[in-house]
Amino acid sequence: MSWCEIPRPLVVIVGPTAVGKTEISIQVAERLDAEIVSADSRLFYRGMDIGTAKPSSEERQRVIHHLIDVAEPDEVWSLALYQREAARIIEEIHQRGKLPLLVGGTGQYVRAIIEGWEIPPQAPDHRLRETLERWAKEIGAEELHRKLRLLDPAAAQAIDPRNIRRIIRALEVILGTGKRFSEQRRRGKVPYSLLIVGLKRPRTELYKRIDERIEKMIHEGLVEEVKALLAKGYSPELPPLTAIGYHEIIRYLRGEITLDEAITLMKRRTRDFVRRQATWFREDDPRIHWLEVNEGTVNEILVLVEDKTAWQIYSEERGSALQFQGTEKKG
């Protein structure tokens, strides 16, 4: 059975930071003549390459990648905008007769696509937002995150305590509607057949890879990359520059911490981020085929692609994906 026989196919590859999604997805895409649609919010921004472990120009020449380098660091890419653009690109890939691979570790971006989230059209309340921004400056990001945790524990668990913009947006929606932010994204119809693959490694191995990746970032010039962004006039308070790696290097450049301290904080925050990612991609999720990363992982994915029982098949009659068609889930 070929994936070409699957109606509106979408292969999804998820997993934590540093697990190896980039190289594995490229190899799978090469074997299937597929195109990759990024679901990593850190990769949107031009000039932020080293600190985001963005696929290199050589890797992007091997396989077509979408939704990378689509904005400047001072532009805001909302979840709703991402969902709309990803859907448009997936449709274009289908029209070309190719297979789209949705790849990434940003949980809410992946799930907005695979669960057909209906994102509420909550208009920004600029007066409330300004009040919250002033409050954030007074009490700090971590205390603001604690306030969110009291109002909406589920939303707080999914949001980085240092991501002031997302914390403020969640509080804005909660205070403006009287409803929890985490409850306002309803599942809608999913217009794809889905094959969802999760990549995993033993935790000690994953942490070792994280540490090595961060050391490599420093060696390859992360400090110089951050200096260049600041020299262009980008504010250190911009959400992309508060991300892991950039925030710590900015503190180092300001003389607040040493470079060694910055590296230690980067490693610690990345491990915390991996734990938050696990709340989005759970190993007990029956939709996900979890694979331990090894030399045979690419072939295992190719076998799943050709196995119709591994897919959640799209039904035109229902306008959504059905659960697994086989008697037992593979993987």
Q: Is 274 annotated as a binding residue?
A: no
Q: Is 54 annotated as a binding residue?
A: no
Q: Which residues pair with 66 in a beta bridge?
A: 37
How far lies 331's CA from each of 149, 232, 269, 280, 300, in Å? 35, 48, 31, 19, 9
Look at the chain and count its residues: 331
Q: Is 20 annotated as a binding residue?
A: yes
Q: Is 279 annotated as a binding residue?
A: no
By three-state DSSP, how is residue 178 classified? coil
Q: Is 52 annotated as a binding residue?
A: no
Is-contact 68 44, C-beta < 8 A? yes
Q: Which residues pair with 10 in a beta bridge?
A: 194
175 contact partners, CB below 8 Å, separation of at least 6: 128
Q: Residue 16 has which token pair?
A: 């934590």
Is-contact 321 192, C-beta < 8 A? yes
Q: Is 204 annotated as a binding residue?
A: no
Q: Residue 145 has which token pair?
A: 């995150």
Question: d(Cα 116, Cα 98) in Å, to the nearest integer?
Answer: 21
Is-contact 222 50, C-beta < 8 A? yes
Q: Is 161 annotated as a binding residue?
A: no
210 contact partners, CB below 8 Å, separation of at least 6: 17, 18, 267, 270, 271, 274
Q: Is 18 annotated as a binding residue?
A: yes
Known binding-site residue numbers: 15-22
Known binding-site residue numbers for ATP: 15-22
Known binding-site residue numbers for substrate: 17-22
